[in-house]
Every structure is written in C-alpha cells, then in structure tokens.
Amino acid sequence: METAVTAPAGSEERVERSGGRRIGAWVGGLLLAGVSVVVGCRGADSDGITPVPQLLAFLPWLLAPTALGLLLALFARSRVAMVWGVLLLGALAWYIEPYGRTAEPTGSPVAELRVMTSNVQFGQGARALVAAVGRHRPDIVFVEECEYTCSATLKKAFQGPSGTYPYRESVEGPGSDGSVIISRYPLTAADGVRGTMGMPGAVADVQGHAVRLQLAHPMPPLPGQVGLWRRELGELRDYAAGGKDRSTILAGDFNASQDHAAFRRVLDTGLRDSARLAGSPRAPSWPARTTPTLGAQIDHVLVSRDFSANAATFLDIAGSDHRALVVDITLHQHK
C-alpha cells in the first residue's frame, strides 16, 4: 500500500519566491555590469569601443538602469549586488558633475556678441532657422548640414547689399556635407579643419579685435566609424590648441558630449563651454524629439579664456533633429 506524500504548506510559494529572487539577481547583475563597463571607461578617460561611445552620450540617464539593478538586488537580498549598486550610483553622481574650467576673464569688456549654432538636418530645418535668426538676432551663426538648397535659402534671406548678414564663409555640399557661417562682422577667409563633412573657418573683425571662428561637425561615433569620429575630434583639438592666446569661437555639432574623452581633450586646450558657463551644462540638444526629457548635449559653443558667457538658450527648430543653441557672450580685453 502506497502512502501519498504531501508537501509542507507554503513550500511551493517559497520555491517560487526563491526562483524569482534568482531571476531578479541575474537581471540586476546584468544591468549593473553593463553600466559598470560604461562608467569604467569614463573613469579610465577612454571612449572604448561600440557600444560604449554611444552610451556615454547618455551617461546621466544611466542612473535609471542602475537604480533598477539596485532595487532588484534588494529584492534578491544580494548584499554584494547592493554594495555594487550603491557604489555605481556614487560614481555616476561624481561623473555627472560638469567638466572644464569656469574662471572668469580678468580684462575689461570690449564687445557683446550673440552666437547661434544649428544643425538643420540635411537642410530640412532651414526655413525654421531663418525665422529663429530673425527673432533672436545673433551676430554670428554657424549652420551644419546646410546643403545646396539650405545655403541658397540663407543667402536669399540674409545676404546681398542690404542684407543683415553680409559676410559669409561656407563649404558647399550635398546632404550633411555643407556648412555655412554667416556674420554681421566682417570675415576673412581662413583654412577650415578638414573632415568628412564641411567645417569652414574664418577670422571675424569684432570691433577691431580679431576672433578666430571655426565650425565643428565631425563624423558621429557610428558603429564601425568610432576611429574616424575620434580622429576628427582630434583635428578640432589641434585647431583649439593652435590658438594659443588668440580669441577663438569653436561652435557646431560636435557629435560628442562632456562625457566623451575625445571632447574633453578639446576642453583641455583651455577652451570653455559657454553653455556650462551660463548655467546649462546638461541641457540636451539632441535628439530633439525627446528633449528635454531625454537627450545629450552634443551641440556646443566653445570660447577662449577672454570670453565670459551670460546666457544660453536652446531652441526647437522645426524639421531638424537638433535644437539650436544661442549664447550671449562678452569679449574681454587681453591682459
């Protein structure tokens, strides 16, 4: 005669709970491991390999998967994972702090300028940009991805004998290759930085003071092209370093944030990010569809140490996947 064995009451529930904790521990561990790779590269001052450069652009938002990993560790009662998660949150908080110098120039003010940079996404945002320029009246405008039609639109709107922006330097090209600088101040042509996409340069005469202008538009860190992206940011770094004590504005779509080592090396030359100086170090500029809830600040106006920044405003440009950036800056006398 066989006797039926009955499982103790509640044993099945305990097994299910134990299985759920194991799954939670695995998922939480995977989340923390993925974030740790990105944070480790940030700590090592390296951009790593795909997908690290792409994820570094969104470093502040890695707080979300880290917090979820920590919650799962608490659910799983894994002390190691709990400590891991807390340490990772601390590291993220440390690296989210803005990077770069902020010391104010000591010379007396000599000129007030308003500078705008806008990536118009293959020219699709050109008309909206014309309207934004009319509203905000910047003195110098850097326009990326301004192909032939966009270039003609800007010329028709702002140039000619009675135009509000009679001075212009450009690299004409299709798609993302074209870029334009327009200015109220007289411009002298200068060799631009060479890159896959057009990056024109110029020297502006700002009330008798020579100011170097360089548009930035390196290739993005696409999978398989991270080396090219790093190399072109290196070219911009060399341009910045070559300025020594000359007044400089380096502006455009850098396809990089302050969390990228290649961009920090540009800042290490002594240039400063005007958005940070004006109190907006983390305001995202791309992708426009998800900003300001989610995004990265990859559009910048970098200035030499003889500039101070008073305000930074990010503008939606219809037709573009980037927000434009407008900064009010002051040029100071060299001492």
pLDDT tens digits, 290-305? 999 999 999 999 999 9
120 CB contacts (<8 Å, ≥6 apart)?
A: 126, 128, 129, 143, 144, 145, 146, 150, 317, 319, 320, 322
Which among 325, 293, 286, 287 is positioned nearest to 309, based on CA atoms? 325
DSSP H or E run through 175: none
The position carrying tokens 């200035």 is 303
Tokens representing residue 126 in the block: 């050109």
| Mean of all residue pLDDT scores within the chain | 93
How far is 127 from 333, CA to CA, in rounded Å? 37
pLDDT of residue 101: 81
DSSP H or E run through 51: none
Which among 242, 192, 228, 238 is positioned nearest to 213, based on CA atoms? 192
How far is 98 from 273, CA to CA, in rounded Å? 10
pLDDT tens-digit series, residues 33-53? 999 999 999 999 999 999 999
pTM: 0.92
Query: In the beta sheet, which residues pair with residue 248?
Result: 212
CB-CB contact of 309 with 327 (8 Å): yes
Q: Is 295 helix (H, G, I), strand (E, B) or coil?
A: coil
pLDDT of residue 162: 64
How far is CA 137 from each of CA 224, 275, 309, 319, rounded to the nearest angstrom? 40, 18, 17, 20
How far is 243 from 318, CA to CA, in rounded Å? 35
232 CB contacts (<8 Å, ≥6 apart)?
A: 193, 195, 196, 218, 219
Q: Is the pLDDT of residue 8 over 80?
A: no
pLDDT tens-digit series, residues 228-244? 999 999 999 999 999 88
pLDDT of residue 291: 93
How far is 16 from 321, CA to CA, in rounded Å? 47
193 CB contacts (<8 Å, ≥6 apart)?
A: 199, 201, 214, 216, 232, 235, 236, 239
How far is 128 from 10, CA to CA, in rounded Å? 66
Query: How do the domains of the chain map onto residue ranges?
Result: 13-96, 109-332
How far is 163 from 4, CA to CA, in rounded Å? 96
Query: In the beta sheet, which residues pair with residue 217?
Result: none
How far is 134 from 121, CA to CA, in rounded Å? 20
pLDDT of residue 22: 78
pLDDT of residue 18: 62
Cβ-based neighbour number of residue 288 at 10 Å: 23
Is 236 or 245 the better-scoring residue by pLDDT?
236
Q: Is 180 helix (H, G, I), strand (E, B) or coil?
A: strand
How far is 218 from 206, CA to CA, in rounded Å? 27
Q: Which CATH number fits domain 109-332: 1.10.1240.10, 3.40.470.10, 3.60.10.10, 3.30.420.40?
A: 3.60.10.10
